[in-house]
Amino acid sequence: MAEQESVLRLERASVVLSHQHVLQDVDFRLARGEFLVLLGANASGKTTLVKTLLGLIPTASGRAYVFGEPVERFNGWSRIGYVPQRVTAASAVPATVEEVLMSGRASRVGLLGRYGREDRLAVDRTLELVDLGDARRSPVARLSGGQQQRVLIGRALAGEPDVLVLDEPVASVDLAHQESFAGTIEILLRSGTSILMVAHSLGAVARLVQRAVVLERGRVIHDGPPVDLKLEHAHHPDIGRSA
Amino acid sequence: MDILGFAFMQRALVAGALVGIAAPAVGIFIVQRRLSLMGDGIGHVAFAGVAAGLVLSISPILSALVFAICGAIAIELLRNDPRTQSDMALALVFYGGIAGGVLLLGFGDVSTINLHSYLFGSVVTVSDNDLWLVSTVAACVVVPSFALRKHLFAIAYDEEVARVSGLPVVSLNIVVALLAAFAIAATAKVVGILLVASMLVLPVAAAQQVTRSFRATAYASMGFGAAAAVGGLVIAFYADVFPAATIVLLSILAFVVASLLSRTRLIG
């Protein structure tokens, strides 16, 4: 059934925030094992779409489904890794890279449980994957913007999710690390992870993208292979512009 | 003059050390969520609790605890209501607590000395019963703060991601508010209602100047808290000054020294 194939889905979803229609009648679907990029100009509703999919923002009409279940009833959240849009990964109290990555596994251990060997191994693997092995005991606040971004990606990956949702993850990452980020995405895709990424432009991951959805003023104006996008650029000069 | 030769000073030192450890144990999660004024909000409600205790002639620590718990839950619920903002939630509770307390005091014949001891702290008047109560309440703060630290850290670090990961964010935020209420009720007798929240925040502020990890900050802040309480009491005893004020000023001094040390890169 098509419904079982989609891991994240919106069905004619509209979202109203502060009396404004931020999403209008949006149909959206992320298929299992797919790498989908969500594009659009600033304030086109990209982040709102993601938050609606994750149940952080309620729909005014229409529904959101996760693994075929209505989002409000879904409870397998440890299968989802979420990298929100953040200016910084630093917090008011110092924390090391390792501590932040480990917190990505908090929901996997019981309330009174402790992190075990499996958790430490998962964090070790993730540190390698996001290339932060040397910085594991560094306070997050002392890292560069790009490194902090990788900390947030690492936190989501430490939970070993089936679905990864990234909101502008490479906004402050330099070109060399965008390449290494593309390498990480490639590894994840090979292991069967479904990935939804919000971006301003395709950048280094262009060769991996299977489908692109473009939003404009809360409506889907393109849904298909990213090659088609080049045609859209002519009409929507904002879309292809890098951040 | 041997400080430990006096039973009242022995009790004061134990009570001071206990709240010095307990208050930052939960305070660190409040500081991390940038809600440092939450302790003050709860403290103001605890004032109404102290007033109720004095008027009804029951233990003001116990009545402060009950009021602080209600205040803590109120702040957390108001914060989560999309119609109110965090600072507005705190303001409502701040003024409600003080006004309620003053109103309650009008119903009884409360001595000013007794009231002062709770407003400004009177750690040297801690009785054996008070000490038991303070110890129990302090344990009720430290044990859950430690046991739940993984989840509390995840939520304090990033509430939105914690919510998506399936953690019971609302319930655990209420737990933190309750732990803060317990810490404040235990601390009120030591430094007084007016300064009570300083014990939750200042040791953490000092510790994080010289630490690199959350774990080290947690332990260092409990150390700073206990040291400030004991050090403040010793200084106050020999210099014959107010203990509560000395403890708080010593905490601020610790912050200033730690921040200078970190700036000159001697540590960390």
Domains for chain B: give ranges and CATH numbers: 3-197 (1.10.3470.10)
Question: Nearest residue of A to residue B29 by CA position?
Answer: A93
Chain B residues with CB-CB distance to A114 below 8 A: 150
Q: What is the mean pLDDT of residues A55-59?
A: 94
**Is the minimum CB–CB distance between B83 and chain A shorter than 8 Å?**
no
Please determine, for residue A128, whether its predicted confidence score (pLDDT) is greater than 90. Answer: yes
Alpha-carbon distances, residue B144 vs A165, B136, B140, B141, B164 (angstroms): 33, 13, 7, 6, 23
Q: Which amino acid is at A104?
A: G
A182-186, B9-13, B74-78, B211-215: lowest mean pLDDT where?
Answer: B74-78
- Verify whether the Cβ–Cβ distance B208 to A159 is below 8 Å: no
- Closest Cβ opposite residue A106 in set B151, B212, B215: B151
Q: How far is CA B126 from CA A25, A125, B197, in A?
A: 65, 53, 19
Question: Long-range CB contacts (< 8 A, 24+ apart) of A88-91?
Answer: A88/A141, A88/A145, A88/A148, A89/A140, A89/A143, A89/A148, A89/A149, A89/A151, A89/A152, A90/A140, A90/A141, A90/A148, A91/A140, A91/A141, A91/B32, A91/B156, A91/B157
At residue A3, the pLDDT reads: 45
Q: Percent of chain A scored above 70 by pLDDT?
A: 91
- Is B164 touching A (CB cutoff 8 A)? yes
Give A161-207 pLDDT, tens digit per residue.
999 999 988 776 777 778 888 999 999 999 999 999 999 888 888 89
Beta-carbon separation of A84 and B161 below 8 A: yes
Angle at A104 between CA B37 and CA B82, to 5 degrees: 40
Is B166–A78 a contact, with Cβ atoms under 8 angstroms apart? yes
Counted across chains A and B, CB pairs separated by less than 8 A come out at 94
> Which chain B residues are closer than 8 Å to A75 by Cβ?
166
For residue B151, the chain A residue with the least C-alpha distance is: A106
Closest Cα partner for A169 from A188, B176, B41? A188
A 30-69 near B (Cβ less than 8 A): 54-56
Tell me, yes or no, if B213 comes closer than 8 A to chain A by beta carbon.
yes
Which is higher by pLDDT, B1 or B150?
B150
CA distance to partner chain B, nearest, from residue A234 (Å): 37
The pLDDT of B158-163, averaged and rounded, is 94
Residue where the block lists tokens 């119903």: B107
Q: What is the pLDDT of residue B268?
A: 44
**Nearest Cα residue to A82 out of B168, B154, B160:** B160
A233 pLDDT more than 70: no
pLDDT for A237: 47
Interface check B32 vs A, CB under 8 A = yes
Task: Report pLDDT for A227.
Answer: 63
Q: Is B214 on the interface with A (CB under 8 A)?
A: yes
Note the pLDDT tens digit of each residue in A20-44.
899 999 999 999 999 999 999 888 9
Amino acid B34: pLDDT: 86
- Assign A20 to helix, strand or coil: strand
How far, in Å, are B35, B65, B71 from residue B90 at the CA level?
10, 18, 10
Which one of A95, A107, A138 has the shortest CB-CB distance to B165?
A107
What pLDDT, on a 0 to 100 scale, did the predictor assign at position A171? Answer: 73
For A74, nearest residue in chain B (alpha carbons): B166
Average pLDDT taken over every residue of chain A: 88
Which pLDDT value is given to residue A234?
Answer: 44
Per-residue pLDDT tens over the stretch A187-199: 999 999 999 999 9
Query: Using one digit for the tens of pLDDT, what is the confidence trace for B162-195?
Result: 999 999 999 999 999 999 999 999 898 889 988 8
Query: B31 — contact with chain A (CB < 8 Å)?
Result: yes
| pLDDT of A145 strictly over 90 | no
CB contacts, 8 Å: B157 with chain A = 91, 95, 100, 103
Task: Name the residue among B163, B148, B165, B202 with its Cα closest to residue B40.
Answer: B202
What is the dihedral sign for C-alpha A23, A28, A33, A39? negative
| Residues in a beta bridge with A219 | A216
Question: Which letter does DSSP use for residue A33 in this model?
Answer: T
Structure tokens at B232: 């403040």
Kindly provide the ipTM of the predicted complex, given to two decimals.
Answer: 0.89
Task: For residue A226, give how far its alpha carbon lies from the nearest alpha carbon of chain B (Å).
Answer: 29
Largest Cα–Cα separation, chain B: 60
Alpha-carbon distance B124 to nearest alpha carbon in chain A (angstroms): 33
| DSSP bridge pairs for A39 | A214
Query: Mean pLDDT, to the nearest integer, of A90-114?
Result: 92
| CB pair distance less than 8 Å for A94 and B217 | yes
Q: How far is CA B159 from CA B80, B163, B231, in A?
A: 12, 6, 37
> For residue B125, what are the contacts with CB-CB under 8 A and spacing of at least 6?
B8, B117
Distance, CA of B109 to CA of B111 (rounded, Å): 7
A17 touches chain B (CB under 8 A): no
Residue with tokens 């009120």: B188
Task: Report d(CA B85, CA B106) in Å as an integer.
Answer: 32
Q: Cβ contact (<8 Å) for A106 and B154? A: yes
A159 near B CB under 8 A: yes
**Contacting residues of B for A79, CB less than 8 Å apart:** none
CA trace torsion A184, A185, A188, A190 (10° rounding): -110
Closest partner residue to B31 among A93, A137, A139, by Cβ? Answer: A93
Q: Please indicate if any CB of chain B lies within 8 Å of the CB of A85.
A: no
Q: How far apart are CA B232 and CA B254, in angstroms?
A: 12
- Nearest-neighbour CA in chain A from B8: distance (Å): 36
A80/B39: higher pLDDT? A80
Distances A237 to A33, A42, A125, B26 between C-alpha atoms, Å: 30, 13, 40, 51
Query: What is residue B110's predicted lDDT score, i.e. its pLDDT?
Result: 80
Q: How confident is the model at residue B1 (pLDDT cuts 50, 70, 90)?
A: low
pLDDT at B266: 46
Helices (H), A108-174: 117-129, 145-158
Percent of chain A residues past pLDDT 90, beyond the cut: 68
Contact B161 A94 (CB under 8 A): no
Min Cα distance B176 → chain A (Å) is 14
